[in-house]
Amino acid sequence: MSALETVYQANTQTEPAMIELKGISKEFVKPSGDVHSVLQGINLQIPKGEFVSIVGPTGCGKSTTLSLIAGFEPPTQGKVYISGQKLEGTNQRAACVFQTENAFPWKTVMDNVSLGLRLRGKNKAEANDEARKWIARVGLKDFEGHYPSQLSGGMRKRVALAQCLIVQPEILLMDEPFSALDVHTRHLMEDELLRIWEETSASVFFITHDLEEAIALSDRVIVLTAGPGARVKGDYRIDLPRPRNVAEISFDPAFMRIHQQIWQDLRDEVIISYENANKFSS
Ligand SMILES: Nc1ncnc2c1ncn2[C@@H]1O[C@H](COP(=O)(O)OP(=O)(O)OP(=O)(O)O)[C@@H](O)[C@H]1O
C-alpha cells in the first residue's frame, strides 16, 4: 500500500463518528422473487465535519448507501449509527440535495428557502429573515421573489443549497447534485459549496461519477467495487491544502498523483461492471 492510500483507521477521537455503517448489507427482492444483493459487509465511519465522496461503477450501490444513511430504508443486515445512536426511521439530522430539482415550482425563492424553518414551527417573519440571509449567502439576493422557472439551472442549485443549509443540518447528503450543470457553473457551485461547508461543521456524504470532482472537494474518497454485493475497495485520504479552488487544484501534481492512483482502482471496477452488464444482457 502506498503512502497516499490509507485504509481508514478506527476513529481515535473520543466522540463517536457522526455516521457509522457497521456490517451493512442490503438486498432487494426482484419482481421475479430472486434476491438481488446490492451491498455486502460495508463498514464506514465518517467523523463530524468530514467531507467524504463515494465513487464506483454505475449501479454499484452509491445511492442505496445514501438512502440507508438518510434512513429512507433499513439495511438488510448491519446497523447505521448517527453520533453513536442506532438510526431508526428517517435521519432527522440530515438534509439531502439530489440531481433533480428540490424547489417547488409554484413557490418563490423566498418561500422555498424559508419552508424548512416554517415546517419546524418558526413564524413567517423569523423564517423569512433567516431565509434572506441564506439567499444572499448563495448569491441570489435580488431573486427572492422569483419562481424556479425564472432561474437558470445553476441558480436553482443555489436555491437547493440554501433550502438545505438553512436548517443547519449536521449531515449533508448529496447525490450527484451538480451533474446536470455546465462545467463552468459546476465549478462555481463546487467552490461555493466548499466555502459554505468550511464555515459549518457538517459531515458531507457526496455521490459523484466524476473522480476529479470527488478529489477536488473531499477529505476522503471511497471507492466501491462493482456489484452485485458491492464492498469498499479503497478508502483514500485527500491531503490537499484548503481552501481549494476546484478549477485550479486539478493542475497540482499532488492532485494528479492521487487521481492516477484512485483511477487504477476505479477503472478495474468499471471494467468488471461493464463485463457483467454484457454477460447479463447476452
Ligand atoms: N428500491 C429498489 N428495488 C429494487 N432494486 C433496487 C432498488 N433501489 C436500487 N436497486 C438496485 O440496486 C442497485 C444499486 O442501485 P443504486 O442506485 O444504489 O446504484 P448507484 O451506484 O447509485 O447507481 P448510479 O451510479 O447509476 O446512479 C441497482 O442494481 C438498482 O437497480
CATH value at residue 226: 3.40.50.300
CB contact at 8 A, 262 and 211: yes
- Centre of ligand 1 to C-alpha 236, Å, is 24
Element (H, E) at 262: helix 253-281
- Centre of ligand 1 to C-alpha 19, Å, is 21
- pLDDT at residue 227 in the model: 81
Domain's final residue, options 124, 147, 168: 168
Q: Which domain holds residue 273?
A: 1-93+171-282
Position in ligand 1 atom list of the atom nearest CA 66: 18
What nine digits make up the cell of 122?
418558526
- Centre of ligand 1 to C-alpha 64, Å, is 6
Same-domain check for residues 100 and 126: yes
- pLDDT at residue 282 in the model: 57
- Spell 236-267 as b/e; 16+ CB within 10 A means b: bebeeeeebebeebeeeeebeebbeebbebbe
CB contact at 8 A, 49 and 5: no
- pLDDT at residue 3 in the model: 39
CA trace torsion 26, 172, 236, 218 (10° rounding): 150
Same-domain check for residues 260 and 207: yes
With a cut of 50, say whether residue 79 has pLDDT above it. yes
- pLDDT at residue 15 in the model: 85
Residues forming a β-bridge with 232: 224
- pLDDT at residue 280 in the model: 66
Position in ligand 1 atom list of the atom nearest CA 58: 25
CB contact at 8 A, 205 and 48: no
**ipTM of the modeled complex:** 0.97
- Centre of ligand 1 to C-alpha 3, Å, is 33
Q: Residue of the nearest CA to atom 8 in ligand 1?
A: 64
- Centre of ligand 1 to C-alpha 42, Å, is 16
- pLDDT at residue 166 in the model: 92
Domain's final residue, options 137, 168, 199: 168
Q: Residue of the nearest CA to atom 14 in ligand 1?
A: 61
- pLDDT at residue 2 in the model: 41
With a cut of 80, say whether residue 28 has pLDDT above it. yes
With a cut of 70, say whether residue 9 has pLDDT above it. no
- Centre of ligand 1 to C-alpha 206, Å, is 16
φ/ψ of residue 66, rounded to 5: -60, -45
**For the segment 133-174, what is each residue's pLDDT rounded down to a tens digit?**
999 988 899 999 999 999 998 899 889 999 998 999 999 999
Same-domain check for residues 195 and 265: yes
Same-domain check for residues 48 and 109: no
Percent of the chain with pLDDT over 70: 94
Same-domain check for residues 201 and 279: yes
| Nearest residue to 257 via CA among 239, 233, 244, 235 | 239
Best probe residue, ligand 1, of 38, 176, 213, 276 (max atoms within 8 Å of C-beta): 38
**For the segment 244-281, what is each residue's pLDDT rounded down to a tens digit?**
999 899 999 999 999 999 999 999 999 999 888 877 66
Structural domains counted in the chain: 2
- pLDDT at residue 184 in the model: 87
- pLDDT at residue 46 in the model: 98
pTM, rounded to two decimals = 0.90
Residues enclosing ligand 1, CB less than 6 A?
28, 36, 38, 56, 58-64
Instruction: List all residues 6 or more positions away from 236 whose beta carbon is below 8 Å from its beta carbon.
Output: 4, 5, 6, 220, 221, 222, 223, 258, 261, 262
Angle ∠(196,198,203) on CA atoms, nearest 5: 95
- Would you place residue 6 in the very low, low, confident or very high pLDDT band (cuts 50, 70, 90)? very low
Same-domain check for residues 1 and 102: no
Q: Residue of the nearest CA to atom 28 in ligand 1?
A: 59
- pLDDT at residue 1 in the model: 41
Average pLDDT in the 121-143 region?
Answer: 94
- pLDDT at residue 102 in the model: 78
